[in-house]
Structure 1
Amino acid sequence: MNTLTLMSLLVAVTLCLCHRDDSARSNSANDSPSSEAFISKRDSAEVVKIQKRNFQRANIVAAPDVPSPLESHREICELNIACDELADQIGFEKAYRKFYGPV
């Protein structure tokens, strides 16, 4: 995912630099046409660092999967064919209440 994002960003930057209008090229005397299509190694390394840092933050913030407290009740209802079919029609909680009482 990060590689795809990075590649998309680099392609977008390259396209933007390649499609600059001629008036902008004539105003900048220091840039040669061959150097406009590339970014420096330092800039590309900075983009990679930012992407990596954001990915690590996202992994830290993400909460672990917590099983539902009703999961055991759901498994009991799935074992009973009538309860399982009724759960498909009216919902799990109503079907469980009908067959086994309050949740």
Structure 2
Amino acid sequence: MKTLAILVLCSLAVICLTSDASAGSQPASDNLAQEGLFVEREQASTVVRQKRAAGDLSLTQLESLREVCEANLACEDMMDTQGIIAAYTAYYGPIPY
């Protein structure tokens, strides 16, 4: 029964790959070639996500950083004196969000 199902799926895949439906996707690639791969700086800056400043973190994000830092005694001590942002950055690198 499993062999029959595999044969049916393989035959459907071959039919889909060899059908004329793949010819319909060529105009989309032509549009991409006409538009080009480069965009203006202003347009790109609206699309690309900007890095957030440390002060923009939510309480949930700060709490998750605090939980990670509490597992390391040195990080926890630094967190108490210099703050969670400085301690996390010193021991674990840049903040992931």
RCO greater where, 1 or 2, for CA within 8 Å and sep 6 or more?
1
State the TM-score bracket (shorter-chain normalisation).
Answer: 0.3 to 0.5
Q: Which has the larger radius of gyration?
A: 1
- After TM superposition, the score normalised by the length of structure 2 is 0.36
- The structure with the greater share of residues assigned to helix is 2
